[in-house]
Amino acid sequence: MGTNVKLLTLTGSESLEESLEYCREIVEDAEYPTVRRWRATGGKVLGHFQVYFPEELAHAAGMLPVKLRGAQVECREADSHFGSYLCAIIRSSLEVVLTDRLKLDMFVTHPICDVARNLAGIWARNCPEPAQILYLPQNPNSRHSLDYLTEEYRRVLDDIEEIVGRTVSDDDLRSSIAVFNENRQLLRELYAIKRDTPWLLPVHEAYILVALGGLIQRDEHNEVLRRLIPLIRDRDSRKQDKLRVVFEGGFCEQPPLDLLREIAHFCYVVDDDLLIGLRWILEDVDREGTPLKNLADAYLNKSSYSPVQHDLRKPKEKMLLARIREAEAEAAIVSAAKMCEPGLDEQVPYSEALDEEGIPYFLTEFEERMTSFDHLQIQLETFVENVVFAAPGADGAGLQLVIPEGVS
Amino acid sequence: MTVATPSPIVGRGARDGAELFRDWYGDLTQASARGEKAAYAFVMGSMVELLRSFDMNVVFPEINSLQTAVRRVSDEYLSEAEDHGFSPDVCGYVKADYALQLRGGEHPMGRIPQPSVAVLTNACNTYLKWGEIWERMYDVPMITVDVPGTRGAGMKPSARGFERDRLYVEQQLREAIEVLEEVTGRPFDIDRCRDVMRLTNEMNRDWRRVLELNRNSPAVYDAMMDGTVYLGVANALRGTEQGAAYFKDLVEELEYKVEAGIGVLPAVDNGSKREQRLIFVGVPCYPIFRRFSELFSEWGGVFVSSTYTWFASGGLDVNFDYDLERPIESLAEGLLLGVQRAVDAMLFHDTALLEAIDEFDADGVVYHPIKSCRTVSTGLADSRRQVLDNRDVLCLYIESDMMDKRVVSEAQLKNRIDAFFEGLDSRALRRASAAAGGAS
């Protein structure tokens, strides 16, 4: 099974707008058409829950790595498997599998939070495919975490090999690393456009292009990005007087696309942590030497940050401030999915750090299935006007708008 | 039923446990008054053997927080933390501790010293977020020992895989010792560590015996109510002479009760009520702790086992003795097994629960997921389906919280619990009737 099977029906002659519209339909389609096409060719599928999974392992084995990031579906089957006080993403992620919208050959979750860890047991009780936890280290500061993670990747690769019925060589891995290195480079270019010329690429369109990568092989994703990035750069869009903001809080459960579109009406989102797992590694992964060790090293030492990874080198509030500075943002939208413990916990130090720095911020919660944005629109508009037209308070503290009840 | 004359040792475990707890808080209060600091640790993977070998004061913030609920003041602490920006939807333990720190350690049982170091594992992800709070507040070192868990339901590691994980834990423990030496300014004393480990071994054997003794009928203690007292001592005084002696005495008391046929409920002992043997899954409802227990005991319900005693003891029920000839290696093995047992008791408890139903001859299982703890609660609705598919027991699923009385509705709980017992009674009658019909 080659990894260069075409799963999109783009011909390459479509305009940028036509291509973006097509990609949006693919990303929002809870029937997973690309995965169905892949399976129809006899391909096997590895589903991995948020946030980060070394997809090179699946790719090198000829599997399609699919990111489980929730879906806009009614949870008729999955709801009875969960109690209250839990986030929406776990319900919809299980729903798409229980209802056969998405068929997997292997499922991997991570100890990113107490809810996600539980998915391995729930999956095992309800789904035929093998389910497991990839124990990414929560002590990356240990001198021994690199060796541990290398061995852990080896263990997962052994399980993958069993499913595909063949051995994955170091050269297979090196080839996949090359594909993913190019993908990371292209995604960095996309984010550079967003940062430097945000009027050319609003947040919801950038999101669509990133999310697409979780549904097709990266070889094809690279082709799409290679064609579209120049078209984006040549776009005939004029700069507007919008507030430059960083959006924080999209590392796991995803805000609905309409919410991002609403934000884009008022703001240029110049950086964010949306689908950060697909952009976790910030540099090229070395191809020389031992591939698994190189991947482990990149996870630990060449990576971004999120509320679900503990690393003494990356105090989250300082990382957020750095993200804001590097993107030359004027304000932040500090968000969290409802019932997301790590995201909600992080809102406190984020707010304190932003207050100290006098950076205005908009504090909110979201849910993947929210459909009403009127409230958000008014509040966001008020926030933006306050920042743009009003001076910060006399004490130097930043403006803030707190919306504890969410925006739906 | 003949019930022997109660000996003075009956009830000793509850009395002594309460007294030891008061003394322990007294010691912490005195330490705080002397300006001493403490190592902050968590019940799952406390690594107390290392901390005690440095003669450090040890604080368990989870215990402090639950005590605010038991003492009915948790709402004050929660409100204070929420005023500082914490969401109502995050762990109540974290919020109560945050407010306690803002109050300079003020606690209904005394005064808690500030941390000099935080020691934690990944047994609960909230531990990591919690530790980061102290790191920010006090700029103290945070020692995280990453303990790889069971990778999937029924996935047993190979011998090589287990050794790989054990070695990773050992390497991190050695790194932790370096930090503790720096924090305390004294070298690690391996013989002192051996002494502490020996005392944990003694407690561990007796703890397992305590859990096992409730297989008898009538049950000799309530695993949720009394079990929480025992748990408190097991965690707070693990690796101490007092703790080991307490459990030795407790085993003596419970064995006496078994022999004398003394159960938990007088109404069961005198034959006026039938004992309904239940298994508790989750964390108790501390804001109305006693009442919560009474809602079951009034119907003759006794918790013969509780998953809380599995995971909140940090896996003390694992059949494992530290090897004092190779203390660090063995400490790593014990930590790995203990944390894995604790985490499995929350994530992958299906098989253990089915076995407990059989071994404890349970009539029903009570699931109590809570808002505050998603580690424990996420899988419970699904686990219940599994149990119902595999055993002829009744299951009750009730939600509330361990800290936040805003989501505790006693009337609603009572309605559900009453209906559950009516179901149990009616099933018992049907069975009795069927047995009588079959016999005739």
> Which residues of chain A does B134 touch, with a Cβ-Cβ cutoff of 8 Å?
none
Hey, are the CB atoms on B152 and A132 less than 8 Å from each other?
A: yes
The pLDDT of residue A394 is 42
**Closest C-alpha among A220, A269, A276, A227 to residue A246:** A269
pTM for the model: 0.94
Interface test with A, best of B151, B163, B177, B380 (most A CBs within 10 A): B151
Hey, are the CB atoms on B128 and A126 less than 8 Å from each other?
A: no
The phi, psi pair for A307, rounded to 5°, reads -60, -15
> How far, in Å, CA of B276 to CA of B230, rounded?
22
Q: Which residue in the set A80, A114, A132 is minimally distant from B381, CB to CB? A: A80
Mean pLDDT across B234-241: 97
Hey, are the CB atoms on B382 and A138 less than 8 Å from each other?
A: no
> How far, in Å, CA of A75 to CA of B401, rounded?
25
Mean pLDDT across B240-259: 98
Is pLDDT above 70 for B438? Answer: no
Rounded to the nearest 10 degrees, what angle do helices B190-213 and B327-347 cross at? 30
The phi, psi pair for A64, rounded to 5°, reads -95, 115
Q: Which residue of B has its CA nearest to A316?
A: B132
> How far, in Å, CA of B333 to CA of B166, rounded?
6
Is pLDDT above 70 for B2? Answer: no
Q: pLDDT tens, B327-338?
A: 999 999 999 999
> How far, in Å, CA of B98 to CA of B130, rounded?
9
Q: Which residue of B has its CA nearest to A339?
A: B89
What 3-state class would DSSP assign to A270? strand
> Which residues of chain A does B120 touch, with a Cβ-Cβ cutoff of 8 Å?
none
Interface test with A, best of B172, B179, B374 (most A CBs within 10 A): B374
Q: Which residue in the set B125, B146, B153 is minimally distant from A342, CB to CB? A: B125
Encoding tokens for residue A136?
A: 């990414």
Hey, are the CB atoms on A83 and B152 less than 8 Å from each other?
A: no
Q: pLDDT tens, B165-217?
A: 999 999 999 999 999 999 999 999 999 999 999 999 999 999 999 999 999 99
> Which residues of chain A does B370 touch, with a Cβ-Cβ cutoff of 8 Å?
85
Hey, are the CB atoms on B128 and A142 less than 8 Å from each other?
A: no
3-class secondary structure for chain B?
CCCCCCCCCCCHHHHHHHHHHHHHHHHHHHHHHCCCCEEECCCCCCCHHHHHHCCCEEECHHHHHHHHHHCCCHHHHHHHHHHCCCCCCCCHHHHHHHHHHHCCCEECCEECCCEEEEEEECCCHHHHHHHHHHHHHHCCCEEEECCCCCCCCCCCCCHHHHHHHHHHHHHHHHHHHHHHHHHHCCCCCHHHHHHHHHHHHHHHHHHHHHHHHCCCCCCCCCCCHHHHHHHHHHHHCCCCHHHHHHHHHHHHHHHHHHHHCCCCCHHHHCCCCCCEEEEEEECCCHHHHHHHHHHHHCCCEEEEEEHHHHHCCCCCCCCCCCCCCCHHHHHHHHHHHHHHHHHHHHHCCHHHHHHHHHHCCCCEEEEECECCCHHHHCCHHHHHHHHHHHCCCEEEECCECCCCHHHCCHHHHHHHHHHHHHHHHHHHHHHHHHHHHHHC
Q: In Å, how far is A205's CA from the nearest CA of chain B? A: 31
> How far, in Å, CA of A226 to CA of A217, rounded?
14
The pLDDT of residue A392 is 53
The pLDDT of residue A396 is 43
Our CA dihedral for B306, B310, B312, B314, rounded to 10 degrees, sits at 170
Hey, are the CB atoms on B144 and A139 less than 8 Å from each other?
A: yes
Q: pLDDT tens, A117-166?
A: 999 999 999 999 999 999 999 999 999 999 999 999 999 999 999 999 99
Let me know the angle formed at the C-alpha of B120 by B114 and B122, rounded to the nearest 5 degrees. 145
Q: In Å, how far is B68's CA from the nearest CA of chain A? A: 21
Q: Which residue in the set A118, A126, A133 is minimally distant from B151, CB to CB? A: A133
Is the CB of residue A127 less than 8 Å from the CB of residue B386? no
Q: Which residue in the set A85, A115, A133 is minimally distant from B149, CB to CB? A: A133
Percent of chain B scoring above 70 in pLDDT:
98
Q: Quote the ipTM score.
A: 0.94
Encoding tokens for residue B10?
A: 């009956």
Interface test with A, best of B134, B162, B168 (most A CBs within 10 A): B168
Residue B125 CB-half CA count within 13 A:
28
The pLDDT of residue A390 is 72
Q: In Å, how far is A395's CA from the nearest CA of chain B? A: 19
Q: In Å, how far is A84's CA from the nearest CA of chain B? A: 8
Rounded to the nearest 10 degrees, what angle do helices B74-83 and B92-102 cross at? 80
Bridge partners, residue A245, by sequence: A269, A331
Q: Which residue of B has its CA nearest to A406?
A: B87
The pLDDT of residue A407 is 39
The pLDDT of residue B269 is 80
The pLDDT of residue B268 is 81
Q: In Å, how far is A381's CA from the nearest CA of chain B? A: 23
Q: pLDDT tens, A344-381?
A: 999 999 999 999 999 999 999 999 999 999 888 999 99
> Which residues of chain B does A355 touch, with a Cβ-Cβ cutoff of 8 Å?
none
Percent of chain A scoring above 90 in pLDDT:
92
> How far, in Å, CA of B78 to CA of B279, rounded?
30
Q: In Å, how far is A120's CA from the nearest CA of chain B? A: 6
C-alpha of B172 from chain center: 25
> How far, in Å, CA of B270 to CA of A387, rounded?
74
Q: Which residue in the set A115, A134, A139 is minimally distant from B145, CB to CB? A: A139
The pLDDT of residue B264 is 94
Hey, are the CB atoms on B347 and A118 less than 8 Å from each other?
A: yes
Q: In Å, how far is A152's CA from the nearest CA of chain B? A: 9
Q: In Å, how far is A303's CA from the nearest CA of chain B? A: 19
Q: pLDDT tens, A25-43?
A: 999 999 999 999 999 999 9
Q: pLDDT tens, B370-414?
A: 999 999 999 999 999 999 999 999 999 999 999 999 999 999 999
Hey, are the CB atoms on A345 and B129 less than 8 Å from each other?
A: yes
Q: Which residue of A has its CA nearest to B169?
A: A144
> How far, in Å, CA of B262 to CA of B219, rounded?
8
Q: In Å, how far is A139's CA from the nearest CA of chain B? A: 6
Hey, are the CB atoms on A114 and B380 less than 8 Å from each other?
A: no
Assign A398 a pLDDT band (cuts: 50, 70, 90). low
Hey, are the CB atoms on A131 and B152 less than 8 Å from each other?
A: yes
Hey, are the CB atoms on A347 and B380 less than 8 Å from each other?
A: no
The pLDDT of residue B5 is 60
Hey, are the CB atoms on B383 and A125 less than 8 Å from each other?
A: yes
Q: pLDDT tens, A4-27?
A: 789 999 999 999 999 999 999 999
Task: Extract the runs of DSSP E, i.e. beta strands, from A297-384.
Answer: 331-337, 361-366
Tally C-beta pairs within 8 A across A and B: 172
The pLDDT of residue A391 is 57
> How far, in Å, CA of B414 to CA of B292, rounded?
9
- As a whole number, the mean pLDDT across chain A is 94
Q: Which residue in the set A131, A147, A310 is minimally distant from B128, CB to CB? A: A310
The pLDDT of residue B440 is 47
The pLDDT of residue B439 is 54
> Which residues of chain A does B135 touch, with a Cβ-Cβ cutoff of 8 Å?
315
Assign A395 a pLDDT band (cuts: 50, 70, 90). very low
> Which residues of chain A does B154 touch, with a Cβ-Cβ cutoff of 8 Å?
124
Q: pLDDT tens, A273-326?
A: 999 999 999 999 999 999 999 999 999 999 999 999 999 999 999 999 999 999
Hey, are the CB atoms on B382 and A85 less than 8 Å from each other?
A: no
Quick one: DSSP state of residue A84? S
Hey, are the CB atoms on B379 and A121 less than 8 Å from each other?
A: yes
Is pLDDT above 90 for B432? Answer: no
The pLDDT of residue A404 is 44
Tell how strand B110-111 and strand B106-107 pair up: antiparallel
Quick one: DSSP state of residue A253? S
Quick one: DSSP state of residue A80? G
The pLDDT of residue B435 is 87
Q: Which residue of B has its CA nearest to A307?
A: B129
Hey, are the CB atoms on B153 and A120 less than 8 Å from each other?
A: yes
> Which residues of chain B does A145 touch, with a Cβ-Cβ cutoff of 8 Å?
146
Hey, are the CB atoms on A111 and B125 less than 8 Å from each other?
A: yes
- Could you tell me which residues come within 8 angstroms of residue A11 by beta carbon, excluding any fewer than 6 positions away? none
Long-range contacts, stretch A217-220, CB < 8 angstroms, 24+ apart: A217/A3, A217/A4, A217/A5, A217/A7, A217/A59, A217/A64, A218/A3, A218/A55, A218/A59, A218/A179, A218/A180, A218/A182, A218/A183, A219/A3, A219/A4, A219/A179, A220/A4, A220/A5, A220/A6, A220/A7, A220/A8
> Which residues of chain B does A83 touch, with a Cβ-Cβ cutoff of 8 Å?
369, 377-378, 380-381, 397, 399
Is pLDDT above 90 for B163? Answer: yes
- Could you tell me which residues come within 8 angstroms of residue B229 by beta carbon, excluding any fewer than 6 positions away? B13, B14, B17, B18, B21
